[in-house]
Amino acid sequence: MNAISMSLLKNPQCCDTELAASITAMGTLCEPGQTAVPLKPSATMLAAGARAGGVSVEVAWKIYQAMIHHAD
């Protein structure tokens, strides 16, 4: 049994809180127009974004970070 499992067994309320948060997050992903994306895009994703926006890969990375960190 790993440390996380042991921690959850010692504090079941922690598990309830984490489970509720996970269920809420999964519910949000089921809404139309929602999707999961990686926090760090692949080089291919950045290159495609740079081409589509007519910007450098560095600028595409900054735009991606801004969108991830300011999502509603």
Sequential pLDDT tens for the chain (72 residues): 556 555 555 665 656 788 888 887 777 777 787 788 899 999 999 999 999 999 999 999 999 999 988 876
Asked whether residue 53 falls in the same domain as residue 42, the answer is: yes
Count Cβ atoms below 10 Å from residue 60 Cβ, excluding itself: 20
- What pLDDT shows up at residue 45? 96
- What pLDDT shows up at residue 18? 81
| HSE (side-chain half, CA atoms, 13 Å) at 8 | 10
Q: pTM of the prediction?
A: 0.58
* Total tally of structural domains belonging to the chain: 2
Domain that holds residue 6: 1-34
- What pLDDT shows up at residue 25? 76
Sign of torsion over alpha carbons 34, 36, 41, 43: negative
Asked whether residue 52 falls in the same domain as residue 28, the answer is: no
Asked whether residue 64 falls in the same domain as residue 43, the answer is: yes
Using alpha carbons only, what angle is made at residue 39 by residues 35 and 52, rounded to the nearest 5 degrees? 75
Asked whether residue 41 falls in the same domain as residue 25, the answer is: no
